A and B are shown apart, each in its own frame.
Chain A
Amino acid sequence: MPSSVIEERIEARPNPRQEAAAGVRSARSRSRSTGTWVRGLLGVLLLAAIWELAPRLGLVDSYFFPPLHVVLQTWWEMVRDGEMWKHTRASLIRAGVGFATALVVAIPLGAAVAWYRPVRELLTPSMEFFRNTAALALLPVFTLVLGIGELSKIAIVFYACFFPILLSTIAGVATVDPQLLRSARVLGLSPSATFRKVVFPAAVPTIFTGIRISGAAAILVLIAAEMVGANAGLGFLINYAQYNFLIPKMYAAILTTSLLGLAVNYGLVALEKRFSRWRV
């Protein structure tokens, strides 16, 4: 079994001719060996054991840092009585709406910016400015203008998601291989067909990089926003639990946030893989 990344990458494999002659395909890139999974699981179990044992052995204060089983118990109770779902749902809707709106606005806009030179020249400087303004720095502004209701939270998620998607779309569209454009031209493809069939598919993997960054940003920014002013949502729950010294509840909410982030990220990575399989 190869032990280093280098060995893994340069491992010998049959070339396409040889594969075809034998009617097989290289197995290298496909299966992750069971060893990988076992080792990964071992790492998680080790972490869980530390969380469980450290408070019990008195290494940390078990009041502020309850053992894992207490947190899990609380978590399970909250799941059963629907409290966890209520807050998770509130967060999911805000994050989802903001994220989806960003997708719908940023991708066409990014494509237009990259496709039409005047649009690019008009918008690039201001885009650079806004991009470098942290979303959370604008939280007071959003609250001031849009109130403390749903809209301000959705807006800040939108803002945080917007720029990664916009910039990756611009990069993806602008860096399409000119040779592909030439061959589309030779085939007499119309500009709109060229965009649909050549430019956009070529840009998808790059766009997805931005989408993945946005997915993480959506949750991050939302939790922070909910901590500042909300009456539901995971960010609110974490803060509320802490104020009321419901420490296991707080950890249960944090754990849910992590799981949510993990799920979103894995989901997007899987989608990304699906759409950029061709890029080796």
Chain B
Amino acid sequence: MSSRIELDGVRQTFLVKGEDDKRLREFVALDDLDLTVAAGELVTVVGPSGCGKSTVLDLVAGLSRPTSGEARVDGKVITGPGLDRSVVFQQYTLLPWRTAQANVEFALEARGGLRKAERAELAREYLELVGLTDFANRLPSELSGGMKQRVAIARSLCYEPGVLLMDEPFGALDAQTRERLQEELLEIWRRTGTTIVFITHDIDEAVFLGQRVAVMTGRPGRITETITIDLDRSVAADVDIRASQEFAAYRHRIWSLLRHQAVRPQLKEVRGVA
């Protein structure tokens, strides 16, 4: 199952208080942001910290609603969280008192409509998908960071959402675990066909995972450019795609775009003073 996501001229503002004058102001987190993700597509959103990446994800997840503009899933306006979308957060949001297996079942309990035995069976299936069959009875505290995130992915996928939203899910992992999980995620994506929106500040990760990379600018957050990544991923597993020339070219292009942005706000401030 997979769904299509559309963000149309989305603007998101928050009420904030000035640090010096304590006056209420409007903080523009996102302005006129457009993004379309086709059904079954894997799009990565890359941008500097604080540019509003997570705000975009919150909108699609239904945890917040845009100030203006529209966010839609399969043509329907998003009004709140729903089981057609699931989220994997950067912090491991597993219930620490439940085993890996029971954590996956937790999502199925939330969905409802399944008997206990069916839930257990389905949970086992998805733990197998993320390669954790042997760890089903472990508590989160007995798992490594990478394993915890795998459980979180299994939990997010087990109720077959149309969209999987991932908010820097591998950010807290060590480099090797991260690379392995990236490869596993691609494998899972191919097998399940779920639409994935993957948020990251890591350019390599964005290029490696994304069919398309949406590059985001900050203050206010908007997507400046969307780059289609055309890498030959069918090559054997022992070929390091990240070392290829094409990969480096994409990487450099995005790096330049982000670099460019980082300078701009500063210039603006200088002008403001003068």
Contact = CB atoms under 8 A, between A and B. Distances in A.
Interface of A: 15-17, 20, 177, 179-180, 182-189, 193, 197-198, 201-202, 204, 277-280
A16 B82 contact: no
B93 A188 contact: no
Contacts of B141: 278-280
B63 A185 contact: yes
Given A15-B144, A182-B63, A183-B89, A188 B81 contact: yes
A187 B134 contact: no
Given A20-B134, A185-B63, A180 B83 contact: no
B97 A188 contact: no
B135 A187 contact: no
A188 B83 CA distance: 7
Contacts of B135: 16, 20
Given A179-B91, A201-B95, A187 B107 contact: yes
Contact of A193 (B83, B93, B110, B138): B110
A275 to B, nearest CB: 8
Contacts of A182: 63, 89, 93
Nearest to A23: B134
6 contacts: A16-B147, A20-B135, A189-B110, A202-B97, A277-B97, A278-B139
- Interface of chain A, main secondary structure: helix
A184 B106 CA distance: 9
A103 B86 CA distance: 38
Interface in B83-101: 83, 85-87, 89, 91, 93, 95-98
Contacts of B83: 187-188
Contacts of B110: 184, 187-189, 193
Contacts of A185: 63, 81
Contacts of B61: 186
Contact of B87 (A186, A189, A278, A279): A186
Given A16-B142, A16-B143, A179 B81 contact: no
Contacts of B63: 182, 185-186
B109 interface: yes
Given A188-B81, A197-B106, A183 B138 contact: no
A222 B138 CA distance: 43
A278 B96 contact: yes
What are the 4 A-B residue pairs with the smallest beta carbon separation, nearest first?
Answer: A183-B93, A187-B110, A278-B97, A280-B141
A190 to B, nearest CB: 9
Contacts of A15: 144
Contacts of B95: 180, 197-198, 201-202
Interface string B51-77: 000000000011100000000000000
Contacts of A188: 81-83, 110-111
Contact of A16 (B85, B86, B138): B138
A9 to B, nearest CB: 15
Given A187-B81, A188-B111, 19 more contacts: A16-B138, A16-B144, A17-B144, A20-B134, A20-B135, A179-B89, A179-B93, A180-B95, A182-B89, A182-B93, A186-B85, A186-B86, A186-B87, A187-B110, A188-B82, A188-B110, A202-B95, A204-B97, A278-B140
A204 B97 CA distance: 10
Nearest to B147: A16
A123 to B, nearest CB: 28
Interface centre among A17, A204, A278 (most CB of B within 10 A): A278
B64 to A, nearest CB: 11
Given A16-B138, A20-B134, A280-B141, A201 B93 contact: no
Interface centre among A16, A197, A198, A202 (most CB of B within 10 A): A16
Nearest to B146: A17
Interface in B128-162: 134-135, 138-144, 147
Contacts of A204: 97
A182 B142 CA distance: 23
A183 B204 CA distance: 27
A177 B135 CA distance: 24
A110 to B, nearest CB: 19
B153 to A, nearest CB: 13
B195 to A, nearest CB: 16
